Amino acid sequence: MAEKDKQRLYKLTTNFNILAKRLVLFYASKYSNDGNVEKQKRRAMIIINEQPLESMRIVGTRFFKFKDIIYSGKFHTIDEEDGKKHCPKGAKDVRDSILNNITSMWNMLTREEKDNIKKWTQKMLDIYVCYMSIQTGDNDAIEQVDEFLSTLKIND
């Protein structure tokens, strides 16, 4: 892999996982007295911190499966039984838990919280699509990735 692609990949992975952590911490703050949620948070953070590229791959794959729902912001339409887990034991469980946590708390969120969740997950999905574009080696797609990265802001 070319050095420039490695730099792109690093920036994509870093930003994706900042947003993943934000989602995990947001959910944990809503259920701060639940011991299972605390275990879930710790395991998710370990995986995100120790295996950031794998974290992006597996969570991104899950988000891509539900891309239409994520872009529409209609998280309440995701089937709650679709891989629901309470305490992730590995990377794939974190993949399931992030989206399932959003689904399970969706109806309890304020409009502002819902807007933030939509914004964060849509950016994560955009980042994952850029990651997949780099993997194809398509020069046109890579130019679009560079344009995306030049405008990427995750703090808003």
N-terminal to C-terminal alpha carbon distance within the chain: 32
Residues in the chain: 156
Query: Is 118 inside any structural domain?
Result: yes
Contacts of 10 (CB under 8 A, 6+ apart): none
Query: Is 74 inside any structural domain?
Result: yes
Where the chain has pLDDT below 50, the residues are 81, 83-89
What pLDDT score does 136 carry? 81
What pLDDT score does 134 carry? 85
Provide the domain count of the chain.
1
Query: Is 155 inside any structural domain?
Result: no
3-state secondary structure of 92: helix
Dihedral (C-alpha) 24, 44, 48, 25: value to the nearest 10 degrees?
Answer: 20
What pLDDT score does 93 carry? 57
Contact 125, 71 (CB under 8 A): yes
Element (H, E) at 73: none
Q: What's the CA gap between 135 and 9, in Å, rounded?
A: 10
Query: Is 32 inside any structural domain?
Result: yes
Query: Is 91 inside any structural domain?
Result: yes
Domain that holds residue 117: 3-148
Other beta carbons within 10 angstroms of residue 17's beta carbon come to: 22
Q: Which two tokens stand for residue 84?
A: 């629901």
What pLDDT score does 156 carry? 59
Query: Is 97 inside any structural domain?
Result: yes
What pLDDT score does 11 carry? 92
- Beta strand ranges found along 19-64 (DSSP E): none
